[in-house]
Amino acid sequence: MKSLLVYLKDYKKETILAPLFKMLEASFELFVPLVLAAVIDVGIADEDRPYIIQMCLVLIALGLIGLICSITAQYFSAKAAAGFGTGVRHALFSHIQSFTFTEMDVIGSSTLITRMTSDINQAQSGVNLVLRLFLRSPFIVFGAMIMAFTVDAEAAVIFVIVIPLLSVIVFGIMLITMPLYKKVQANLDKILLTTRENLAGVRVIRAFNKEEDERKRFESENEALTDAQKFVGGISGLMNPLTYVVVNGGIIALIYAGALRVNVGDLTQGEVVALINYMSQILVELVKLANLIVSVTKAIACGNRIESVLKMKPDMESGSCMWPADTASAAPAVEFDHVCLTYKGAGDESLTDITFRAEKGQTIGIIGGTGSGKSSLVNLIPRFYDATKGHVKIFGKDVREYDTENLSEHIGVVLQKAVLFKGTIEENLRWGNENASAEDIEEALEISQSKEFVEGKAGKLEFQIEQGGRNLSGVNKQRLTFARALVGRPEFLILDDSASALDLATDAALRRAIRGMKEQPTVFIVSQRAASIQYADQIIVLDDGETAGIGTHEELLSSCPAYQEIYYSQFPKEAASNGR
């Protein structure tokens, strides 16, 4: 948490003024019992109405000044806390953007979202509370005790006894309940997870008639949370009665001792009232301080969670080489040299000893069963992951030597899952190239087979896409992701099983249009459809992360059992032989 306090450096003035004004408010509050004592001892005792009015005006003035100080302190603390939260949020988001797929896989997107939202809000709230109350509450407690001694030293001895007793009760209950609240939070996390799973998988739950089972699971987890909350709530509920017993006992002792001393003339009635008021102030501030410490403890825990993410360093470092100006060299466009890949935390290799070459302008098909490593292979080209063994080379240079931003500018990727963002169609397409001309966008729409459906939408390119593309069909979402990748006119185009929603005719038209592009990009097509890759210049067949065969469609069909199994499972042998 300490390292996060650097984000308060631009708010030094606010972090000083907020507690300072709170101390001023507390100082005026400590004078109130003395004024009340004067009203009772002088004004009421002597029936001096002008004096009573004068002292009442003093009380009002103290109240107004205290209110102004409190509002001012709240303003400065809120400003500093909001600035702190904004700074941490920007820093965390920027840091997350530097993470590779490896870090995202290890941490998990849901955890990062929690730390970006609720954890930062909790830390921000903690900063706000510390600036306002961390000095005020101890100041009131000890200030009230000192003021009690100025009123009457003998009666103030009761404060010396009561304050430690109150502290033991308040902080003892706090220490007991804090770990219990953590268990409550863990049970709450389980309910949130169950709720999220049920909402996300509502169709599957209904399809398999599992509503009753899920309802029972939710009720069981909800009961566990309720029981935990009741238990910790019962312990927390002891704070008020125990503290009020001690305080009322202290007040009884004050009244008794005060009555005896008033009776002999050593103490006035107003001074007894002042002592009782100071006792009440101490009670209120100790309870506030306990709640403050609980909140600050939560804030520190959340701050440590944020800090742990900020301390994570991406395991990839950007190189310094830029994309070559002349790519018409003798070196192959892409070369895999005995490449192996093991994901972080995995026991076995996902790719083992992959070796092949792809020349500029070629179309490379990659096929294999589920889990054979097709996506893992193409993810190494734009450097989403780094090979654990061997070398991935682009135009003769190891991909690690390239500047990562420059590398991504020349590689267009269409991932398996079609992801669109809230905004217009044009805004989504310009992700591929923010400076794209109208002609570039139109050409990308034509190649991706999207032009017809876009022109049929109200507003055409200005048609508003909802979050995640909810208002588009799966086919149209995939078409637009193709167009987005093509707008940048990439030299490499990676299609990672991204035509699964397209019918065979549209898929074939898309591949023909890509082959006809004047830039002649080097294309990598990952697919489980033999029809999508059979016309590729080179086909790589993967089986359990290893190369089962490399060659053209005809070569593999005659010599590669793994390819034959895939092909003939999709095309009967008679139809396949007739097609040839």
pLDDT score at 489: 86
DSSP string, 62-130: HHHHHHHHHHHHHHHHHHHHHHHHHHHHHHHHHHHHT--HHHHHHH-HHHHHHIIIIIHHHHHHHHHHH
Kindly compute the dihedral angle of the four CA atoms of residues 405, 428, 363, 332, in this order, to the nearest 10 degrees: -10
Stretch (H or E) spanning 364: strand 363-368
pLDDT score at 579: 47
Cα 569–Cα 575–Cα 578 angle in degrees, nearest 5: 140
pLDDT score at 459: 83
Share of the chain residues as helix, strand and coil, in percent rounded to the nearest 5: 65, 10, 25
pLDDT score at 355: 92
Confidence (pTM): 0.73
Handedness of CA 129, 131, 133, 135 (dihedral sign): positive
* C-alpha neighbours within 13 Å on the C-beta side of residue 272: 18
Rg (CA), the chain: 36
pLDDT score at 578: 47
SS3 192: helix
374 touches 367 (CB < 8 A): yes
State how beta strands 423-424 and 411-414 pair. Answer: unpaired
Kindly compute the dihedral angle of the four CA atoms of residues 256, 261, 264, 267, in this order, to the nearest 10 degrees: -130
Where b means 16+ CB within 10 Å and e means fewer, 79-104 reads bbbebbbebbbeebeebbeebbebbe
Averaged in consecutive runs of 10 residues, what is the pLDDT profile of the chain (580 residues)? Answer: 82 89 87 85 81 88 90 92 92 87 77 81 88 83 83 81 82 79 75 81 89 91 90 81 82 82 80 83 77 76 83 81 76 89 83 90 89 88 89 90 87 86 89 85 88 84 86 85 88 84 81 84 88 88 90 90 88 55
Neighbouring CB atoms inside 10 A of 27's CB total 16
